[in-house]
Amino acid sequence: MTKKKIALVTGANKGLGFETSRQLARQGIRVLLGCRNQERGKAAETKLREEGLDVEFILLDVTKSDHIHQAARYLEEKYNRLDIHVNNAGITYPGESLSANSTETVSPKVLRKTFDVNFFGLVELTQALLPLIKKSTAGRVVNIASILASLSIHSQDNGMSQFKPFAYDASKTAVNAFTIHLAAALKGTNIKVNSAHPGWVKTDMGGEQAPMDVAEGAKTAVRLALLGPDGPTGKFFHFEEELAW
């Protein structure tokens, strides 16, 4: 059994998930690349291994309970613990623009599909992995949220007022609620649970007009994944700045 820290990153075949995996692996951590597509997951594994990094593809669609249970069993049998869990997998449903207010028109289908990935799958997976995270000497759970999850910011008349894709925003607000509640449930343990706002990043979701590259965007999640024993828990960050819920 390896003495290296073990990390699992979901949605790891591209964008922020891929770069977060790369940066964690560069810290000498063995990173499991959770990906829902086997071909793309294996390609990501090959690319990072060619960089000399210790990574391993694992088939994981967070909306499928059988994938979640299989991943938990595999981690238990091979490593018997999990040190870092990054809930990165997330979507905006096709047709819901990030730059418009969809609240009056968003369909129940879009809401359910978005929540299935961004919230329900995230919660189910984290709950399944908690017994393994509790075996770590310093468990870290990082939930990728968004500044668009902040009710404080949305309730103000500011520059963010035009960005209200309701399904996406509401799902990420729910993620932040999970962060707060899980951190409280684990109070007094060696596990820290935090939410990360990566920033507006050049990804499939953020678009080419975004001002940040993925290397910068991954830094907040990586910092929270590597927090020391005196680090915060139950908080929401962009880089080192604490954000309002």
Instruction: Indicate the domain borders of the chain.
Output: 6-242
Confidence of residue 200 (pLDDT cuts 50, 70, 90): low
Q: Which long-range CB contacts under 8 A does 54-57 form with residues at least 24 apart? A: 54/4, 54/25, 54/28, 54/29, 54/30, 55/21, 55/25, 55/30, 55/31, 56/30, 56/31, 56/32, 57/32, 57/33
**In this predicted structure, what is the pLDDT of residue 216?**
86
Residue 239 pLDDT > 60:
yes
Residue 199 banded pLDDT, cuts 50, 70, 90: confident
| pLDDT at position 202 | 56
Using the predicted structure, report yes or no on whether residue 207 has a pLDDT greater than 70: no
pLDDT, position 206: 56
pLDDT, residue 164, reads 87
Asked if residue 205 has pLDDT above 70, the reply is no
Cα distance between residue 160 and residue 141, in whole Å: 28
pLDDT tens, residue by residue, 107-145: 999 999 999 999 999 999 999 999 999 999 999 999 999
Entry pTM: 0.94
> Which one from 74, 79, 93, 168 is the annotated catalytic residue?
168
**pLDDT at position 54:** 98
Residue 204 confidence (pLDDT)? 63
Closest CA to 224 of 130, 134, 144: 144
Q: What is the pLDDT of residue 14?
A: 94
Report which DSSP code applies to 4: S
pLDDT of res. 93: 85
CATH architecture of 6-242: 3-Layer(aba) Sandwich (3.40)
Q: Give the helix/strand (H/E) hosting 41.
A: helix 38-50
Strands (E), 74-178: 84-87, 140-144
Lowest mean pLDDT among 59-63, 196-200, 224-228, 232-236: 196-200
pLDDT at 42 over 60: yes
Least confidently predicted of 52-66, 146-160, 178-192: 146-160
168 in catalytic set: yes
Identify whether the C-beta of residue 106 lies closer than 8 Å to the C-beta of residue 96.
yes
- Average pLDDT in the 157-167 region? 77
| Residue 221 or residue 212, greater confidence | 221
Which of 8-22, 87-101, 115-129, 195-209 has the lowest average pLDDT? Answer: 195-209
Average pLDDT, integer, range 35-42: 97
Of the candidates 77, 51, 54, 56, which has an alpha carbon nearest to the alpha carbon of residue 4? 54
Q: What is the mean pLDDT of residues 152-167?
A: 80
